[in-house]
């Protein structure tokens, strides 16, 4: 599985591509950031993010795009910019028919470090170790993007099994409901006396 992880942000949007399957060593295919100038108009910044993500999608052809789920922070302005960049990432993936997976920051941290409260240095160190890199990716947004991709690769098999179990349960419930309904009186309709 090849996953493009995206840590959304207006000034620095972290991107990282990881390939592999759960239970086996993973390989980093690429890592970086899509940058926009803080003094540029918002619309132009969003276009720049879209163009940057499209270049990553063209070059690496991921099967899945894992985006950090935006969570409420104290700074509403920061949240809005992050949410806008996140929406652009999801739009780019959806336009190509790619699966979009959302993971919270604590899910990604827990996946790579074992703790949902790990700091950026711990995440960078574990991403470096897990992907057998010479040094932690810089800036931290790039390491976070790789952590999101790793998180998805490791969690996807369990999530797929859970979704299949839920779907199977719904089918069983629907079949049981259908079987318990009394037979309708179709035979008496349409007859004349």
Active-site residues, by number, are 7, 68, 141
Spatial CB neighbours of 165, under 8 Å, sequence gap ≥ 6: none
What is the H or E stretch that residue 100 is in?
A: strand 99-103
In whole angstroms, give the CA distance from residue 6 to residue 167. 29
Spatial CB neighbours of 122, under 8 Å, sequence gap ≥ 6: 109, 113, 115
Task: Report CA dihedral (110, 17, 78, 34) to the nearest 10 degrees.
Answer: 160
Cβ-count burial of 22 within 10 angstroms (0-12 exposed, 13-18 middle, 19+ buried)?
middle
**Other beta carbons within 10 Å of 53:** 24
The torsion angles phi and psi of 103, rounded to 5 degrees, stand at: -130, 135
SS3 190: coil
- Nearest Cα to Cα of residue 15 among 184, 159, 139, 178: 139
């Amino acid at each position: 599985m090849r996953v493009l992880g995206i840590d959304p942000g207006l000034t620095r949007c972290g991107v990282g591509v990881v390939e592999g399957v759960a239970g086996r060593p993973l390989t980093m295919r690429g890592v970086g950031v899509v940058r926009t100038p803080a003094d540029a108009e918002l619309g132009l910044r969003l276009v720049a993010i879209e163009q940057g993500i499209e270049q990553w999608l063209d070059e690496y052809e991921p099967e899945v795009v894992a985006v950090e789920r935006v969570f409420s922070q104290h700074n509403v302005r920061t949240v809005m910019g992050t949410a806008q960049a996140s929406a652009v990432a999801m739009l780019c993936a959806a336009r190509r028919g790619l699966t979009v997976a959302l993971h919270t920051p604590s899910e990604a941290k827990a996946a790579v470090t074992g703790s949902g409260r790990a700091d950026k240095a711990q995440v960078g160190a574990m991403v470096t170790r897990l992907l057998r890199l010479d040094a932690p990716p810089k800036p931290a947004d790039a390491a976070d993007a790789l952590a999101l991709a790793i998180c998805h690769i490791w969690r996807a098999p369990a999530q797929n099994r859970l979704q299949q179990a839920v779907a199977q349960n719904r089918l069983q419930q629907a079949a049981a409901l259908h079987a318990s309904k009394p037979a309708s009186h179709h035979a008496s309709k349409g007859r004349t006396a």
